[in-house]
Structure 1
Amino acid sequence: MQSSRLDWDDVRVALAVARHGTLAGAARALGVNHATVMRRVGRIEAAAGLALFDRTARGYALAPGRRRVLAAMEDMERASEGLIRALANARAPMAGTVHVTSTDTLCLTVLPGVAAEIAGAAEGVKIDIKAENRHADLARLDADVAVRPAASLPEGLVGTRAARMGFAVYASPEAPAHWLGLSGALSRARPAAWLAEAIPPAQIAASADSFLVLREMAAAGQGRAILPAILGEADPRLRRLDGAMPPLATEIWVATHRDLAGVPRIRLVRDMIAESLGRRAAQLLGPAAANAP
């Protein structure tokens, strides 16, 4: 086999098949059709002169003895991502768009105001805000800056602990005593861990994967919801149930990939977001979590 016969796009597709286990799953992840995935898998196997996958009734499984091949393809992927980041850094001017990702809670309550501050202070810098509760993959340049409540940063990211997000229990005055659960990406949050330990499943009446949705469910009288203080305190339809849960808070990080940390406009936006969150620290923490560990 000649290394020049390997196409990076074929390697990328083979990695997706290995990770998802089916052609259809890889196609959805890559945004291409089933036939394209099948064709590229066939091409890389032909170029390699060996089968990378065993075809089974359940899908595609990595063939025996191919773990080192998979590891080498992952190394190739990391090298490609590093090259893309290095090129972005090298040609980055001060002006341009900075893509910021955060939770729907922070995108609703804090980031619009921060974006307005940046627009007034940094001529030529535009902010694109992406609201999602899953963590964007900064290694793949899904975003330039992430604003995330988390205990710590994943490997490869650098950032600042800008504030703390406090939580409390809220309900409408007429709400029953049962609880609303946290599902999807929220199931990994600190409030979900407390809920799983302290509240029997039989007392969970419904659940949602968004604090904004949980707020509306609580306001509709469906039960008690653990909400960020910045959502619950400002809602006149809800009352805080002090003592229903121990004080609970988590760090809010403003982070970027270490390879992009020196890009002038990204560094500027990251620093301005961190400063703005710091000024809102008391509002983000809330009264119930003031003594949270």
Structure 2
Amino acid sequence: MHKTNWDDFRFVLAVARMGSVSAAARELGVNHATVLRRVAGIEDRLGVALFEKSVRGYDVAPEKLRLIEAAREVEIAVKAVERLAQAGDTPLAGVIRVMSSDTFCHAILPPVVAGMSLTSPGLSFELLCANAQTDASRLHADVIVRTAFKLPDDLYGEVAGQLAFGVYAAEGVPEAHWLGMSGLLGRAHVAHKLNERLQKDGVVFRAAADSFMTLRALAEAGLGRTMLPCVIGDQSPVLQRVHAPIDIAPMPIYVASNAELADAPRLRQARARMTAALQADAERLLGLAPAAA
């Protein structure tokens, strides 16, 4: 096997990061043909195909995840050496792709990533908002933040706190007027229990949605009562917490990564810092912070 120059991996990582040859070429400031040639060259030297080509673009082949992550660690190390030569500092740096639900992306994660960015100027984030449990194994995400009683086998992570729920309504909304949870949201344990209880009581939902953010907007419009994470219900200047017909237990919040990549140093460090930030926000996540005026 011929020796591989680090510069060759820049082209591979750009394609993995951007998802297409054209986008990688724009990021690197070269033409489309150059990227194709450099990627093909490194695949020939390694004797492996790094990408699967589809209508969506270029996806990293699942069995090559470790190879790509190793290259990304080298990229971080090279940049760290450059910073050491200039300033003697080696902070967490690079792009961290964080996948979570719209609730977390809107109401919980922005101050977390802002705080991390302040202490690590070389760090940037891409928030991937997906209420469905999208496959994270194809380098769609470095860190996954989600509520669950237990992580699936393909994820490894730590519990960073608990997310409390409550029932909310605008002033004057009748007790019999409710909003339902549909789609994947309706299959969640707590949502299923609430929907089951309300249907037994003969409640006909006036509207339904598969997103807590959408349910909050519908409740603010006066359509009915709804269950919400307290962290978004308490933020509303229109809604107030009302009696819940069932006991709603808090859900564990996990900060996780793909199990095959979880030991990568930069991912361990990113998860640890995000976990610490969420733990510091425990009061608000549990619905114990003062409600909006």
Fold-level similarity (TM above 0.5): yes
Judged with a 3 Å threshold, the aligned counterparts in structure 2 of structure 1 residues 90 and 262 are, in CA distance, closer, same or farther, namely: farther
Deviation string, structure 1 residues 217-241 (Cα, Å, up to 9, x no partner): 0111101110000011121201111
Which blocks of at least 5 consecutive residues in structure 1 are unaligned? 1-6, 14-26, 33-76, 289-293
User: What is the aligned partner in structure 1 of residue 181 from structure 2?
Assistant: 182
For this pair of structures, how many residues does the alignment match? 221
CA distance in 2, matches of 1:167, 1:274: 20
CA distance in 1, matches of 2:264, 2:123: 12
Deviation larger for 267-276 or 257-266: 257-266
User: What is the aligned partner in structure 1 of residue 198 from structure 2?
Assistant: 199
How far residue 243 of structure 1 moved from its aligned partner, in angstroms, is: 4.0
CA distance in 1, matches of 2:244, 2:178: 15
User: What is the aligned partner in structure 2 of residue 81 from structure 1?
Assistant: 62
User: Is residue 122 of structure 2 the alignment partner of residue 97 of structure 1?
Assistant: no
| Identical columns (%) | 37
CA distance in 1, matches of 2:236, 2:135: 33
How far residue 245 of structure 1 moved from its aligned partner, in angstroms, is: 2.9
- Provide the aligned C-alpha RMSD in A: 2.7
How far residue 188 of structure 1 moved from its aligned partner, in angstroms, is: 2.3
How far residue 242 of structure 1 moved from its aligned partner, in angstroms, is: 2.5
1:138 partner SS: coil
How far residue 154 of structure 1 moved from its aligned partner, in angstroms, is: 0.9
Does the 8 Å CA contact 1:89/1:259 hold for their aligned counterparts? no
Judged with a 3 Å threshold, the aligned counterparts in structure 2 of structure 1 residues 120 and 287 are, in CA distance, closer, same or farther, namely: closer
User: What is the aligned partner in structure 2 of residue 137 from structure 1?
Assistant: 135
2:125 partner SS: strand
User: What is the aligned partner in structure 1 of residue 26 from structure 2?
Assistant: none
1:246 partner SS: coil
User: What is the aligned partner in structure 1 of residue 159 from structure 2?
Assistant: 161
User: What is the aligned partner in structure 2 of residue 43 from structure 1?
Assistant: none
Write the mapping of 1:32-51 to structure 2, written as runs, cut at 5 A. Answer: none
1:267 partner SS: helix
2:149 partner SS: coil
Does the 8 Å CA contact 1:180/1:207 hold for their aligned counterparts? yes
User: What is the aligned partner in structure 2 of residue 212 from structure 1?
Assistant: 213
Deviation string, structure 1 residues 5-46 (Cα, Å, up to 9, x no partner): xx989xx79xxxxxxxxxxxxx8xx538xxxxxxxxxxxxxx
Does the 8 Å CA contact 2:156/2:256 hold for their aligned counterparts? yes
Structure 2 counterpart of 1:99, which letter?
Answer: R
User: What is the aligned partner in structure 2 of residue 269 from structure 1?
Assistant: 270
User: What is the aligned partner in structure 1 of residue 260 from structure 2?
Assistant: 259
